[in-house]
């Protein structure tokens, strides 16, 4: 018998909520199979079976658990006995066996309620759902088991058919006006950090706009070759990450942070990229972006984003960033004021690209324009430095050749 315990995820994590079981009590699992999801105040992690066997659950989904707590056991001896035994071949000419009738344990709660109220035996109903499953609609359309079969012989004197009781009247379904649920540890932690950022930093936001024509033209020109060579698309984020690194080198104040009564100046460029997931916003960090190529940045963002959305992100993937980029434009945002990701001193907000009328060389022309928003900690960064940062970043995006020569 093997004990299934909550694994250690990091020094700062003492427990969390076992938010979901991927298996049911008594199921036979294989080695390495995901069996549960653990949600903490920092990450969501999957627990995997250490061995094949029959699992016995000791904790219900939604329960609070601690690191090292026993949540299930695995019976290894049951794995071998669970191997399917081949059914004996049917004799020649024997009729094929009829498929199993639907069982009550495959019904949804709504379908089971209809079967009870309408006095319908689900085993007698042909299912139209996925895999032949009996649905609520199938049961509503089926006759009650007490009703006579139309056209069937009576075998004697004709008598009046038995009265079929009308289904009991049910109240019309109404949606609840509100529901309550406990905040997940991750959502609670996000809320705490956002409030702390507002209370502990002097946050100010400055704006600018950038013409995306040059970047869009480069992507169009080199996209096919880039994909063939690197196996990943060339996106906008790699341009902004590289431009942000160049701007941070120009304005080091935005690469500094306050710790107690000390000002810490960072000399590396680990950039956080905000990722929206079903569980909340996460900011995985792409390391040493100044040393990465465009392809390296794109691959780093792609891999970390997938891990975050799949619930496989690790605590070390979220730590140590010096600056954050948040792209609200993918959701259609025109303009926003992003909140700092403590203890960082700056965060860049990107927004959607819209064709707008602008003046170029005295002429009104149409250009793809994006609004930029830089929120910064005014205790560390002066207004002049924030504006200089945005102008430098704008110049790099509007003339990407500057990124090659560190202008």
Q: Which helix (H) or strand (E) holds 114?
A: helix 109-117
State yes or no: is 382 an active-site residue.
yes
- Among candidate residues 22, 75, 121, 378, the one labeled active-site is 378
- Phi/psi for 347 (5° steps) reads -145, 135
pLDDT given at position 129? 63
Q: In tens digits, what is the pLDDT along the chain, a chain of 407 residues?
A: 888 888 877 666 777 888 788 888 888 888 888 888 887 766 777 788 888 888 889 888 888 888 888 889 888 886 655 555 444 554 555 444 444 444 445 666 566 766 776 667 777 777 766 566 676 666 666 766 544 444 444 444 444 444 445 555 555 555 678 888 777 777 777 788 788 888 888 999 999 999 999 999 999 999 999 999 999 999 999 999 999 999 999 999 999 999 988 999 999 999 999 998 877 788 999 999 999 999 999 999 999 999 888 878 888 898 899 999 999 998 899 999 999 998 999 999 999 999 999 999 999 999 999 999 999 999 999 999 999 999 999 999 999 999 887 65
- Among candidate residues 25, 288, 310, 382, the one labeled active-site is 382
The reply to whether domains 2-79 and 185-405 share a CATH topology is no
Q: Which residues contact residue 186 at a Cβ distance below 8 angstroms, ignoring those fewer than 6 apart? A: 39, 40, 41, 42, 43, 44, 279, 280
Q: How far apart are CA 248 and CA 17, in angstroms?
A: 39
- Phi/psi for 264 (5° steps) reads -100, 120
**In 174-231, where does DSSP find H-type helix?**
185-200, 213-230
pLDDT given at position 11? 60
Which tokens in the block code for residue 279? 């569980």
Rg over CA atoms, the chain: 31
Q: If one looks up domain 185-405 in CATH, what number appears?
A: 3.30.559.10
SS3 label, residue 203: strand
State yes or no: is 378 an active-site residue.
yes
Contact (CB, 8 A) for 288 and 270? yes
Q: If one looks up domain 2-79 in CATH, what number appears?
A: 2.40.50.100
Domain boundary assignment for the chain:
2-79, 185-405
Which tokens in the block code for residue 393? 């970043």
pLDDT given at position 64? 82
Q: How far apart are CA 272 and CA 259, in angstroms?
A: 19
């Amino acid at each position: 018998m093997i004990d299934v315990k909550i694994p250690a995820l990091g020094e700062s994590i003492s427990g969390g909520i076992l938010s979901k079981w991927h298996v049911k009590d008594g199921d036979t699992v294989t080695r390495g199979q995901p069996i549960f999801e653990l949600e903490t105040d920092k990450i969501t992690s999957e627990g995997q079976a250490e061995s094949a066997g029959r699992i016995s659950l000791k904790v219900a989904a939604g329960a609070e658990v601690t690191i090292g707590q026993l949540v299930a056991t695995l019976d290894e001896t049951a794995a071998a006995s669970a191997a399917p035994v081949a059914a004996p071949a049917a004799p020649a000419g024997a009729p094929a066996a009829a498929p199993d009738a639907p069982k009550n344990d495959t019904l949804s709660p709504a379908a089971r309620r209809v079967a009870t109220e309408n006095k319908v035996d689900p085993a007698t109903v042909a299912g139209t759902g996925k895999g032949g499953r009996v649905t609520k609609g199938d049961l509503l359309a089926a006759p009650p088991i007490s009703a006579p079969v139309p056209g069937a012989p009576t075998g004697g004197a004709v008598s009046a058919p038995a009265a079929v009781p009308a289904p009991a009247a049910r109240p019309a379904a109404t949606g609840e006006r509100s529901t309550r649920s406990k905040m997940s540890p991750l959502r609670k932690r996000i809320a705490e950090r956002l409030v702390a950022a507002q209370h502990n930093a002097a946050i100010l936001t400055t704006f600018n706009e950038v013409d995306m024509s040059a970047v869009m033209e480069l992507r169009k020109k080199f996209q096919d070759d880039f994909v063939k060579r690197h196996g990943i698309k060339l996106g906008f984020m790699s341009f902004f990450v590289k431009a942000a690194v160049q701007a941070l080198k120009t304005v080091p104040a935005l690469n500094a942070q306050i710790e107690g009564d000390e000002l810490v100046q960072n000399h590396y460029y680990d950039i956080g990229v905000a990722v929206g997931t079903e569980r909340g916003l996460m900011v995985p960090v792409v390391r040493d972006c100044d040393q990465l190529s465009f392809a390296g940045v794109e691959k780093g963002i792609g891999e970390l984003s997938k891990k975050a959305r799949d619930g496989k992100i690790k605590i070390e993937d979220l730590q140590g960033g010096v600056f954050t980029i948040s792209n609200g434009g993918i959701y259609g945002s025109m303009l926003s004021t992003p909140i700092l990701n403590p203890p960082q001193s700056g965060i860049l907000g990107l927004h959607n690209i819209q064709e707008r009328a602008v003046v170029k060389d005295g002429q009104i022309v149409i250009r793809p324009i994006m609004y930029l928003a830089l929120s910064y900690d005014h205790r560390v960064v002066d207004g002049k430095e924030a504006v200089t940062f945005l102008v430098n970043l704008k110049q790099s995006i509007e003339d990407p050749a500057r990124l090659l020569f560190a202008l």
